[in-house]
Amino acid sequence: MNPAKNRQFADYCCDLLSTQGPCLAKRMFGGWGISVDGLTFAIIADLGDGDKLWLKADEAVRSRFEAAGCERFVYVGKSKTASMGYYTAPEDAMDSQDAMLPWARLSLECAMRARAPKAPVKRTATKKPAVKAAQKSPRA
């Protein structure tokens, strides 16, 4: 794709997503990463049929993207097919900021959940009995 046209699409997507704050599009792996306040919540990638906007999704919202007919980010690696936690934006959401607003909000929330510190896993350690230091017997 023409780099200027590619940049125009990235700028357009940033405009659509800007309801969540000032967006920054950075080149990343042949595509673009789109972030707000350092949180990447969308990417632009071409998986073979042109550049598409992909929005971050996790288990909490995945079913909403699927119900809207969004396509999951799936690619063929060297030896297997793999996927990432991103879905295409719904087609009608690509028309305006108002239409994109709920999807942008969902994706940013997913990015915030992914960044949140994970609660440490509590492990119950079995205590070993204390080993007493060998006592020296007094010399007589």
Which sequence spans correspond to the domains of the chain? 3-115
Beta-carbon-side half-sphere exposure of residue 49 (alpha carbons within 13 Å): 6
* Homologous superfamily of the 3-115 domain (CATH): YgaC/TfoX-N like chaperone (3.30.1460.30)
Residues in the chain: 140
Mean pLDDT of residues grouped by 10 in the chain (140 residues)? 74 96 91 94 91 95 95 85 89 96 96 80 60 54
pTM of the shown model: 0.77
Residue type, 127: K
